Each structure stands twice: as structure tokens, then as C-alpha cells.
A and B are shown apart, each in its own frame.
Chain A
Amino acid sequence: MSNLVFVAAAMLITVGLYAAMTRRNLIKIVMAVSVVGSGVNLFLVGTGYRENSIAPIFTNAPSLAMVMPTPQALTLTSIVINLAIVAMMLSFAMKIYQHYGTLDSRERRLKK
């Protein structure tokens, strides 16, 4: 059971990569990147998890069995970065739509 989180993370990453490679709609590609990001974040949090332990906050801690704080710090950073990336990709997609009137990546490839 304890490996379930890694299986889920691997599935999210695979699904995201597959979608990023095969989808034609730019919004769907952005979603795919976001799903890969979630998979990686889940994996990071999963590496630091310990059963029957509490959040790593020292104030009034009932026990000292805590989950690892470092992966959580990494995950927080990575969530913020992913947010920035997704926001930027969406704004590019919006601009592309304004210029070409379509979001299909086949319709307006860079020619030459």
C-alpha cells in the first residue's frame, strides 16, 4: 500500500507526457504540462512521507515523529514555479489565438 503514491505519481507523469506529445490543442498541451508537474510534486511529497507522523511544525508538537520537511519545501517551490510557467503558457496561447484565430497546433505551424 505504501507504494501506491509512487504508482499514482508515475501514472500522472506518464499521462501528462503522453498528452503533451499527442494533443493538438494548445490549451490541452498546457494542461498536460501541468499534470506532469502535479505528478512530480506528488512524487516529491511521497518521498518524505512517514506513516503515523505529524506535520513538521515544532510548536506544541504532540510527538516527534514528523514527516520530512525538505521535500515539502521543495514541493512548495516547485508548485509556485509551475504556476508561473502555466500562467505564461496560457498567456502565449491567448496571444496565438488573437493572431491566428485558432488553437490547433497543426493549423499555424512556423513555416520555413
Chain B
Amino acid sequence: MNLLAHAPALAIAIPLLAAFAMPIASRVCKRLPKALSVAALAFTELLVLSLAAQAFSGKTITYALGAVSPDNVAAAGFPVRIILEIDALSALFAIASATIALLAIIYSIKFVKDGSKFFAAALLMVAGMLGMVFTGDIFSLFVFIELLTISSAALIAFYSGRGQPYEAAFKYLVVSSIAALMILLSAGLFYGQYNLLNLAALAGVLKFTFLDKIALVLLTAALAMKCGAIPLHMWVSDAYGEAPASVSAMLVVASQASLYALFRISFILFGKAPLIETIAWALIVFGVLSMFVGVSMAIMQKDIKRLMAYHAVSQTGYMLLGAGVCLAVINNPAALTAFGIKAIEGSLFHVINHTLYKSLLFLTAGAVIYRLGTRNLNEMGGLAKKMPWTAAFFVIGALAIAGLPPFNGFASKFLLYESVFLFSPILSAIAMLVSIMTLASFVKVFYAVFLGNEVKTNVKEVPLIVLAPMALIAIAIILFGLFPEIVLEAIVKPAAGALLNQTAYTGSVL
């Protein structure tokens, strides 16, 4: 069997099968679930990388589950087929999901006692994320979002000693399931009018009727809620804050997967719609609000993980701003070449950088909480000497999120500042101000956690298996910061091109 030819389906199927093999594996041997999940995710990562290598060279990979062609109505009845479609944009998000999930799982080996349940849910989450970014039709998008929702809710409530994780998980479930039902409703709206569920096919026939507009608004609102943009951010701080650290890191990439769906739908389906400018401005307003309110809320927090959760909201704002600016000028070729393309490139580059530094920060926070047993910043202090590696990784993550050179956050934020400035100088100024506030907030955290008086004397550095994933992410952050052009040319530009080239996406299916 040619493994590579079936890579799109296998990348989703392997985590799924491994997840359901967990209960059996835990019967065989106590350590088997951990080994099996790392092996499954490593294999998935290889498959995703091989797919991405093809996608970044400009090829759009389509994989049909079921009937080979849509006209195949012969003996087997009607053509049931589900398309998986992978272009450079899907590949970018898929690499982020698979890589961070693999590292987060390695990181959590040390912490998780009864592994099989935790790893089963984590593997389901990976299957959901990869499914979301690979799928080519809107109903499978709904199914994968629900898969992701259920498994992440289980993980948020995983440490069951206290009541708060259950509340966070309940809140997350209510918000996410209503968002997912709105996506299903808009799938129904499309199907009722065009008899189609495939995104590429829909993009070709969409007439922008009144019902389409309703569907667009529902989809935008639902996906903005899932990626945690203000004013729909209320679940983020609870869910990220209460979840175990490795799960928070995975939730960051999960919300990026919703961002992927938002980009895909607004650019590919509605890029030529007459009301696209309204949606673009909605994204810009969501983005600016998220940036500013997110960071202002973060400055006030005393709980280290809630603080980081609000920063995640704030950073998502940058991506929405970039995408909104590009979408606002999408039907104006002169402005698009002047700054629109740069804006979306900055936005997509920021997606990669954000997943890297945000997961690094959550993982360092997890290490600190593991050693100190508290999440309150006021009860921490003096850890720089006891946990030098964790401190170093925290500094790298903090400088990257604040957008200081030579770390990766600088590269993408600079692209955004430049392009947004040409669109509207005020928005660019707000973006810079938010960066400064982010820096201020992280200076405070660094001082509170790593400098000052020692609160506990018998603290040790965390074990090597916990440090190794953090070290890998930190190295990636530095490399991406030192050589941004290489990443930009190899990954970001093909992805931005795929997003703006509607015919490439639709043409490869039909």
C-alpha cells in the first residue's frame, strides 16, 4: 500500500484509532498508553510534514473518501463522497497542530498518573484539529469541531480535585456547542439552496442571497467565538486557566484551527461577496478590541495561567486585524498588492509564532506550578536560581510575545505594523501600544516568579523530559526570529497565496 497516497486520511485516522486503542493498551501494560500515544503522534507528524512538503511546493492535494468522482452514480447508488483538501494554508495550520500536540504530549508524560484517559482525549483532540484543517466540506467541519469540543472539554476538567475545572469545562461546552450548532445551521442553509456541502463547489455557485448573508454572519460569529475574540472571549480565560498546562498549549492550537476555518470561509467562500467589507470591518473591530481589552485584562491578573490566557486573546486580535485588513481590500488589486498581501502574510506568520511562544509560555507556567503547587503570582518568587532553564525559556517566550527582536514575534508583528499602517495609522499605533503593554505585563510576571525573595527553598529544576519539549520550542522561536525570510518564503507566502487564490482551491476539486 502506498502510504503517502493515503496520508490525508491516515493523518486523521491514526490518532483516532490510537485513541480508542488506549483502554486496551492500558490493560496490557501500564506504560503502553504513553508509548503508544507518542508513537502515534510522531507518525502523524511525519505524515503531516510529508503532506506539507507537497503543499508548500504549490500542489493542492485532494483525497476523496468514498466515490472517486461526483458523477459516479452507476451501480452503487448515489455518490457519497467526502473530500479532504490540503493546500498550503491547511498545511501551515496542520503542522502547528501536530507539532505542538506531539510536544505537549511528551511534556505531560511526567505529570499524568493514569495515562489512558488523558491520552485518549488528547489524541481525539489531534484528530479533531487535523480533521478541521483538512476537510473540504462544511458538514465534516461541524463534525470535527464537535469532536474537538468534546475531547477538549474532557481535558479541561481532567484534574478533578476542585470544582473550578468543571465550571470552566461546562462553560466551554455550552459556548462551543452553540457555536457548532450555528455552523450546522448555516450548512443547512447552504444545502437547502444549492444541494451542496463541499466548500470548493459552493464557492463556485454562491449567489450571495439573503440566506447566504445569514449563513455568513452565523459562521463568522460562531468561529470568532471558537477562536476567542472579544466580545466572545468569556470562555477563554476559564478554560485556558483551569486546564492542565499541556492542555492549555493544545487549546491554543485548537483555537488556531477555528481561525483557519474562519479564514477559509471568509476568503474562499465570501471573498467576492458584496458585503465582504462589512465582515472585514467586523474582523478588524473584533481584532482591535481583542488586542486591547485582552492585554488590559491580563495586566490585572494574579493567577499566572489566567494572565497568559488573556494574552492569548490579545494575540489572536493581531491575526484577526491582519486578516480583516486584507479582506477589506480584497477586491481592490492596487491596495491588495500595496499592503493587503503583506497584512495576511503577517497574520499567518503570527499564527505560527503565536502557537510557538504561547505554548512555550504555558508549558513554563506548568513547570512552575508543578514545583510550587500554587498559581498565584504573589506566592511565587526567586525561582531564577533554582530553575534556570525554565527561567531562560520563559524569558525567550516573553520577549517573543512582546515582539522584541531577534525573536519570532518581532518578525510577524513588524509585517503587521507596516501593512496596517498603510491601511490606517491609528490601528497600527494601537497594535504597537498593545505590544508595549504586553512587555510590561511579562516584565511583571518575570519579576514576580523568577526574581525577588525565595518562597520555597527545596525547589528543583523540572526533569529532562519536561524540559526537552520546551527547549525544542525555544530553539524554534530563536531560529524563526533570526531567519524570518526563510520561513516567510517557504511557508507563509504559499499559504497566503493559497488563501487569496480562490480558483486554485476550487479548481482542484471540480
A-side residues, CB < 8 A to B, are: 13, 17, 20, 26, 29, 33, 36-37, 40, 43-44, 47, 58, 69-71, 74, 77-78, 81-82, 84-85, 88-89, 92-93, 95-96, 99-100, 108-110, 112
Q: Do A96 and B185 have beta carbons less than 8 Å apart?
A: no
Across the interface, which residues of A come within 8 angstroms of B178, CB to CB?
A: 17, 20, 33, 36
CB nearest neighbor in A for B375: A112
18 contacts between A and B (CB under 8 A): A13-B185, A26-B170, A33-B181, A74-B187, A85-B146, A89-B177, A92-B157, A92-B169, A95-B160, A95-B166, A99-B163, A99-B166, A110-B164, A110-B167, A110-B168, A110-B238, A112-B301, A112-B302
Which listed residue, A37, A40, A58, A77, touches B143 by the CB 8 Å rule? A77
Which listed residue, B77, B142, B166, B187, touches A92 by the CB 8 Å rule? B166
Across the interface, which residues of A come within 8 angstroms of B139, CB to CB?
A: 74, 77
Which listed residue, A17, A43, A85, A96, touches B188 by the CB 8 Å rule? A43
- Shortest A76–chain B CB gap in Å is 12
CB nearest neighbor in B for A111: B164
- Shortest A56–chain B CB gap in Å is 9
B-side residues, CB < 8 A to A, are: 77-78, 139, 142-143, 146, 149-150, 153-154, 157, 160, 162-164, 166-170, 173-174, 177-178, 181, 184-185, 187-188, 191-192, 197, 238, 242, 301-303, 306
- If the complex has contacts A26-B170, A43-B185, A71-B191, are A84 and B150 also in contact, measured as CB distance less than 8 A? yes
User: When chains A and B are docked, how far (Å) is the Cα of A108 from the Cα of B163?
Assistant: 9
CB nearest neighbor in A for B183: A40
Beyond the given A13-B185, A40-B188, please list 9 additional residue pairs across the A-B interface where CB-CB is below 8 A: A20-B178, A33-B178, A58-B77, A71-B191, A82-B177, A92-B170, A96-B163, A99-B163, A110-B168
User: When chains A and B are docked, how far (Å) is the Cα of A93 from the Cα of B173?
Assistant: 11
CB nearest neighbor in A for B149: A85
Across the interface, which residues of B come within 8 angstroms of A81, CB to CB?
A: 143, 146
- If the complex has contacts A47-B191, A93-B170, are A100 and B163 also in contact, measured as CB distance less than 8 A? yes
Interface centre among A26, A33, A69, A93 (most CB of B within 10 A): A33
- Shortest B131–chain A CB gap in Å is 13
Q: Do B185 and A70 have beta carbons less than 8 Å apart?
A: no
Q: Do A71 and B188 have beta carbons less than 8 Å apart?
A: yes
Across the interface, which residues of B come within 8 angstroms of A99, CB to CB?
A: 162-163, 166
Q: Is the interface of B mostly helix, strand, loop or mixed?
A: helix
Q: Do B181 and A37 have beta carbons less than 8 Å apart?
A: yes
Q: How many A-B residue pairs have CB under 8 A?
A: 91
Q: Do B170 and A40 have beta carbons less than 8 Å apart?
A: no
Across the interface, which residues of A come within 8 angstroms of B301, CB to CB?
A: 112
- If the complex has contacts A78-B184, A81-B143, are A96 and B177 also in contact, measured as CB distance less than 8 A? no
Q: Do A96 and B181 have beta carbons less than 8 Å apart?
A: no
Q: Do B192 and A47 have beta carbons less than 8 Å apart?
A: yes
Q: Do A89 and B78 have beta carbons less than 8 Å apart?
A: no
Q: Do B173 and A88 have beta carbons less than 8 Å apart?
A: yes
- Shortest A79–chain B CB gap in Å is 11
- If the complex has contacts A84-B150, A92-B170, A112-B306, are A33 and B177 also in contact, measured as CB distance less than 8 A? yes
Across the interface, which residues of B come within 8 angstroms of A44, CB to CB?
A: 184, 188, 191
User: When chains A and B are docked, how far (Å) is the Cα of A29 from the Cα of B163?
Assistant: 18
User: When chains A and B are docked, how far (Å) is the Cα of A81 from the Cα of B150?
Assistant: 9
User: When chains A and B are docked, how far (Å) is the Cα of A36 from the Cα of B160?
Assistant: 29
User: When chains A and B are docked, how far (Å) is the Cα of A112 from the Cα of B168?
Assistant: 13
User: When chains A and B are docked, how far (Å) is the Cα of A2 from the Cα of B181?
Assistant: 24
- If the complex has contacts A88-B150, A95-B157, are A108 and B188 also in contact, measured as CB distance less than 8 A? no
- Shortest A21–chain B CB gap in Å is 10
Which listed residue, A40, A95, A109, touches B184 by the CB 8 Å rule? A40
Across the interface, which residues of B come within 8 angstroms of A85, CB to CB?
A: 146, 149-150, 173, 177
CB nearest neighbor in A for B186: A40
User: When chains A and B are docked, how far (Å) is the Cα of A44 from the Cα of B154?
Assistant: 29
CB nearest neighbor in B for A78: B184
User: When chains A and B are docked, how far (Å) is the Cα of A5 from the Cα of B301?
Assistant: 49
- Shortest A3–chain B CB gap in Å is 12
- Shortest A44–chain B CB gap in Å is 5
User: When chains A and B are docked, how far (Å) is the Cα of A88 from the Cα of B152?
Assistant: 12
Which listed residue, B160, B162, B168, B191, touches A70 by the CB 8 Å rule? B191
